[in-house]
Amino acid sequence: MLKAVILIGGPQKDTPKPLFPIAGLPLIQHHIKACVKLVECKEILIIGSYTINHMAQFVSDMQKEYQIIIRYLQEFTPLGTAGCLYHFRDQIRAGNTSSFFLLNGDVCADFPLQELWIFHEKRGPNALITIMGTEATRQQSVHYGCMAIEPTSKAVTHYVEKPNSYVSTLISCGVYVCSVHVFNIMAKVFEEKDNCYYSTNGVSSPQPGYMSWEQDILAPLAGTTKLYAMQVTNWWSQVKTPGSAIYANRHYLELYRKRDAQNAPTANCKIIPDVYIHPTAEIDSSAVIGPNVSIGAGVKIMAGVRIKESIILSNARIHDHALIMHSIVGQDATVGEWSRVEGTPSDPDPNKPFAKMDNTPLFNVDGRLNPSITILGSLCNVVSLIDELRNEGFRRRTRVTNTAHGSIKKVEVGNGRATSLVDLRKKGSRRAIMNWTLQHGATSL
Amino acid sequence: MCGTDKKLGEMRALILVGGYGTRLRPLTLSRPKPLVEFANKPILLHQIEALVEAGVTQVILAVSYRAEEMEKELTEQVSKLGVSLTFSHETEPLGTAGPLALARDILNASTEPFFVLNSDVICDFPFKELARYHSSHGKEGTIVVTKVEEPSKYGVVVYNENGQIQNFVEKPQEFISNKINAGMYILNPSVLKRIELRPTSIEKEVFPFMAKDGELHAMELQGFWMDVGQPKDFLTGMCMYLNSLRQKNSALLHDGNEVVGNVLIDSSAKIGKGCRIGPNVTIGPDVTIEDGACIKRSTILRGACVRQHAWLEGCIVGWRSVVGRWVRMENCTVLGEDVIVKDELYINGGQVLPHKSIAASVPEPQIIM
């Protein structure tokens, strides 16, 4: 019997990143879709430190939709990627599991799980883990787990996480098949670390039971013929920055259209594929939507609106003649008439083979914001000039007056829930970009 | 009183058309500056009409650039007004005083005073009052002065309570006066004796000496005044002009659902549904504004097209240019003649040369060649 484990980590802010909608589905639903394709896979375990009420609705929806056992296991102490697996080892082993898939929640891909499992089986009983690997550029490889393999057996001979200097262009995708015997190795590591923790009065390790999957398990297993890597050329990307959400959106939309022959949305406005529109969204017939747009539930789009390369979250309202491009518009946000909300696209360099998203930090070395897609937080209100006076009495905690690409005349931020906005005003210019990252906490303005 | 009016009827005026109009590029690459339409009428025609209104019968245009085109077009336009146009051609730029010496024979043909004006000035032209005031004090010349907020940027005029000018001070650091030369004068033909036929400046080489001799007076201008020689001031001047039309209760201003504030729309222009035009917009003949466009503080010249859902503020759109759908243009963007701006672009302070097609956003002010 097979199982799948999805590691989603913990909350950095109120909106759980694993549930951020991409191509109309929560980020990790794409993982689940890939897992349920394998009939041998009988259970999906989601492990993270989000509270159960953040995840309960999603888990029950998924159970209903895919008719498979899905459970959320909440970790209460940060034990690291391997520590939490080991902590829940009995849950994973229950039901006589032979192997399990391990998927990082913050990646998106055309997951080749069937191929990965067949590959793993062929390595023989000695194989504990097979890593899904992909090619990266020399420069970008050092931001990932880098590995060297023996060309015929595909055994991993060396593994190092985020090296300081170039090691190999073959990187780990954060997607694995593991035999349950991996828990025997983990038990040994656990014991060693435990002894070490108590013999050094707790200074050698952050927590008793803390284990890193990459550093404590993968790296020592390299060169032992127990660790293998299958190199794939399928589309794959991390989802670390908001810019990568737009990139992932494009690829998932394309993937589902091509592979699953997913129907184009039925809307009476002009659509430039690929576009996802939730059935409950209302769109005026004079709007023009696409390419690469996802529109969430209950969104209202008025006359003459143009949207491209963007994600519009649920219940947002986009008023007449507005233009939105390279942006994410948050839940319940409002964009006023004739507003222009424009971000800077941050796709991987198309001229470099195997280039990945550059996960640039929010700020550059000069302390200025790096150009990025534009994000309007939830309940954010981009007011058109005409509405300015009418909204003076708007309930607010934070208010920003600025221009984004000269276009956002005023931004009003609601009660601050799930909202963080950073104002970028380039020196001496009228251009500013509203930015917000999935990882950073609320920035007070 | 009767005699004064008769005198006015014989008056002449010299307009300093002069140079290449480089400050109003890229518009002046297609048309000489005096012919660029300000509020749907060539700049020069505003002045000629006001002069005719004040009884001027002969207008001398001191020109040095593209004279043929201008002669043809202006002669046509002016024939209805019952005024004779004389072109005085400079073979080299003669500054602001030299052209008077060049036209000496025409100006000396009568002993009556004559008007002189810079061609970039837009205001409520006070020519009748100027002639009246000039004859009342009996000196050689009168300068129209206007009040400015920041006199330290200009040369200011200092005069006594009788209006007699004492001196001129260039860019005063300490406040001394807030009145500047408005570029309109009335002079007796005797002033011509003070001017040589060479490139020379009336402001620096003629007026200070007249002031020294006590022969120069100042008359304060009422109402708005603007030198519309560059795009930013062109738009500011347009706002002032439209506001002045409103105060005069002019029927020229447009009313309607899609219009906000002072808006001038030529009757041949087409305005689509759901637009918001104004405040302070001029739309020229044969212009098409498609559905859902929003235009503020801008001039759209003849034959141009603003496509659906575009948003414009502080722009001059040149003749026959096309602004694409969902385009946003602002911050003193000037499109030359026959420019195409593709859909969904953002232009911030772009100065776009004629016949250019723009396919990428211009986020920072620049000249696009």
Q: Is residue B239 part of a domain?
A: no
SS3 string, chain A, reads CEEEEEEEECCCCCCCHHHCEECCEECCHHHHHHHHCCCCEEEEEEEECCCHHHHHHHHHHHHHHHCCEEEEEECCCCCHHHHHHHHCHHHHHCCCCCEEEEEECCEEECCCHHHHHHHHHHCCCCCCEEEEEEECCHHHHCCCEEEEECCCCCEEEEEEECCCCCCCCEEEEEEEEEECCHHHHHHHHHHHHHHHHHHCCCCCCCCCCCCCHHHHHHHHHCCCCCEEEEECCCCEEECCCHHHHHHHHHHHHHHHHHHCCCCCCCCCCEECCCEEECCCCEECCCCEECCCEEECCCCEECCCCEEEEEEECCCCEECCCCEEEEEEECCCCEECCCCEEECCCCCCCCCCCCCCCCCCCCECCCCCECCCCEEECCCCEECCHHHCCCCCCCCCCEEECCCCCCCCCCEEECCCCCCCCEEEECCCCCCEEEECCCCCCCCCC
Nearest residue to A293 via CA among A305, A285, A304: A305
In a shared domain, residues B67 and B96: yes
Tell me what percent of the residues of chain A surpass a pLDDT of 70: 80
DSSP string of B213-240, one letter each residue: TT-EEEEEPPS-EEE-SSHHHHHHHHHH
Q: What is the mean pLDDT of residues A108-117?
A: 95
In a shared domain, residues B106 and B206: yes
What is the per-residue pLDDT for A99? 95
Mutation site for B-interface testing, chosen from A323, A324, A427 by largest number of B Cβ within 10 Å:
A323
The catalytic residue positions of B are 171
Give the residue from A211, A238, A265 where a domain finishes: A238
Of the listed ranges B2-11, B17-26, B50-59, B68-77, the least confidently predicted one is B2-11
Going A394 to A396 to A402 to A405, the CA torsion angle's sign is: negative
Give the residue from A215, A238, A261 where a domain finishes: A238
Mutation site for A-interface testing, chosen from B312, B328, B366 by largest number of A Cβ within 10 Å:
B328
Q: What is the mean pLDDT of residues B3-28?
A: 73
Tokens of B219: 């008359």
**Chain A residues in contact with chain B using a Cβ-Cβ cutoff of 8 Å:** 303-304, 306, 308, 320-321, 323, 325, 338, 340, 342, 386, 405-407, 429-431
Tokens of A401: 């007056």
DSSP at A368: P
Q: Is residue B143 part of a domain?
A: yes
Q: Is residue A6 part of a domain?
A: yes
B344 touches chain A (CB under 8 A): yes
Q: Regarding beta strands A107-109 and B216-220, do their DSSP bridges make them parallel or antiparallel, or are they unpaired?
A: unpaired
Among A357-371, B98-112, B260-274, top mean pLDDT goes to: B260-274
Say whether A2 sits in a helix, a strand or coil. Answer: strand
More confident call, A410 vs B25: B25
What is the per-residue pLDDT for A411? 39
- What is the number of domains present in chain B? 2
Q: Is residue B235 part of a domain?
A: no
What is the per-residue pLDDT for B355? 96
Q: Is A303 close to B331, i.e. CB distance below 8 A?
A: no
Confidence grade of residue B125 (pLDDT, cut at 50, 70, 90): very high
Contact of A316 with A330, CB cutoff 8 Å:
yes
Whether pLDDT at B7 is above 60: no
Confidence grade of residue A15 (pLDDT, cut at 50, 70, 90): low
Whether pLDDT at B242 is above 90: yes
In a shared domain, residues A9 and A36: yes
Q: Is residue A363 part of a domain?
A: no
Whether pLDDT at B96 is above 60: yes
Confidence grade of residue A11 (pLDDT, cut at 50, 70, 90): confident
B309 touches chain A (CB under 8 A): yes
Whether pLDDT at B127 is above 70: yes
* A139-171 pLDDT per residue, tens: 999 999 999 999 999 999 999 999 999 999 999
**Which amino acid is located at A263 in the chain?**
N
Assembly ipTM: 0.79
Task: Please name the residue of chain B whose CA is at the shortest distance from the CA of residue A306.
Answer: B326
Structural domain including B182 reads: 12-227
Q: Is residue B38 part of a domain?
A: yes
In a shared domain, residues B192 and B74: yes
In a shared domain, residues B192 and B52: yes
Q: Regarding beta strands B121-123 and B225-227, do their DSSP bridges make them parallel or antiparallel, or are they unpaired?
A: antiparallel
For the whole prediction, is pTM greater than 0.90?
no
Report the C-alpha gap between B106 and B279 in whole angstroms: 45
Q: Is B328 close to A431, i.e. CB distance below 8 A?
A: no
In a shared domain, residues B189 and B262: no
Nearest to B363 among A321, A323, A431 (CB): A431
In a shared domain, residues B153 and B298: no
* A214-224 pLDDT per residue, tens: 999 999 999 99
Nearest to B326 among A323, A405, A429 (CB): A323
Contact of B315 with B277, CB cutoff 8 Å:
no
Of the listed ranges A75-84, A95-104, A435-444, B8-17, the least confidently predicted one is A435-444
Tell me what percent of the residues of chain B surpass a pLDDT of 70: 96
More confident call, B65 vs B46: B46
Q: Is residue B281 part of a domain?
A: yes
Q: What is the mean pLDDT of residues B58-67?
A: 82
More confident call, A152 vs A395: A152
Contact of B130 with B222, CB cutoff 8 Å:
no
Q: Is residue B5 part of a domain?
A: no
Nearest to B328 among A303, A340, A386 (CB): A340
B261 touches chain A (CB under 8 A): no
Nearest to A306 among B330, B344, B348 (CB): B344
Report the C-alpha gap between A120 and B276 in whole angstroms: 65
In a shared domain, residues B216 and B250: no
Confidence grade of residue A367 (pLDDT, cut at 50, 70, 90): low
What is the per-residue pLDDT for A258? 86
What is the per-residue pLDDT for B65? 67
Q: What is the mean pLDDT of residues B153-164?
A: 88
Structural domain including A296 reads: 242-356+368-382
Confidence grade of residue A410 (pLDDT, cut at 50, 70, 90): very low
Q: Which residues of B touch A335 (CB under 8 A)?
A: none
Q: What is the mean pLDDT of residues B330-344?
A: 95
In a shared domain, residues A234 and A313: no
Q: What is the mean pLDDT of residues B33-59?
A: 91
Mean pLDDT, chain B, rounded, equals 89
Give the residue from B197, B227, B257 where a domain finishes: B227
Q: Is A304 close to B346, i.e. CB distance below 8 A?
A: no
Confidence grade of residue A209 (pLDDT, cut at 50, 70, 90): confident
Whether pLDDT at B292 is above 80: yes
Whether pLDDT at B159 is above 60: yes
Report the C-alpha gap between B18 and B183 in whole angstroms: 14
Confidence grade of residue A228 (pLDDT, cut at 50, 70, 90): very high
Q: Is residue B274 part of a domain?
A: yes
Q: Is B331 close to A323, i.e. CB distance below 8 A?
A: no
B294 touches chain A (CB under 8 A): yes
In a shared domain, residues A346 and A417: no
In a shared domain, residues A31 and A51: yes
DSSP at A350: T
Give the residue from A203, A238, A273 where a domain finishes: A238
Q: Is residue A197 part of a domain?
A: yes
- From B39's Cα to the closest Cα of chain A, the distance in A is 25
Task: Please name the residue of chain A whose CA is at the shortest distance from the CA of residue B295.
Answer: A338
What is the per-residue pLDDT for A395? 28
Please count the residue pairs, one from chain A and one from chain B, whose beta carbons lie less than 8 angstroms apart: 54
Contact of A328 with A345, CB cutoff 8 Å:
no
Q: Which residues of B touch A405 (CB under 8 A)?
A: 328, 346, 363
In a shared domain, residues B255 and B221: no
What is the per-residue pLDDT for A363? 67
Report the C-alpha gap between A153 and B306 in whole angstroms: 65
Q: Is residue A361 part of a domain?
A: no
- The CATH number that applies at residue B161 is 3.90.550.10
Instruction: List A45's β-bridge partners, or say none.
Output: A5, A71
Q: Regarding beta strands A323-329 and A340-342, do their DSSP bridges make them parallel or antiparallel, or are they unpaired?
A: parallel
In a shared domain, residues B46 and B166: yes
- What is the number of domains present in chain A? 3
Q: What is the mean pLDDT of residues B238-247?
A: 93
What is the per-residue pLDDT for B289? 97
Confidence grade of residue B315 (pLDDT, cut at 50, 70, 90): very high
Q: Which residues of A touch B331 (CB under 8 A)?
A: 406, 430
Tell me what percent of the residues of chain B surpass a pLDDT of 90: 57
More confident call, A328 vs B359: B359
Give the residue from B199, B227, B255 where a domain finishes: B227
Q: Is A304 close to B344, i.e. CB distance below 8 A?
A: no
CA B126 to chain CA mean position, Å: 15
In a shared domain, residues B209 and B358: no
Q: Is residue B297 part of a domain?
A: yes
Report the C-alpha gap between A100 and A238 in whole angstroms: 21
Q: What is the mean pLDDT of residues B65-88?
A: 81
Instruction: List B317's β-bridge partners, or say none.
Output: B300, B335
CA distances from A38 to A34, A165, A437 (A): 8, 39, 34
Q: Is A430 close to B344, i.e. CB distance below 8 A?
A: no
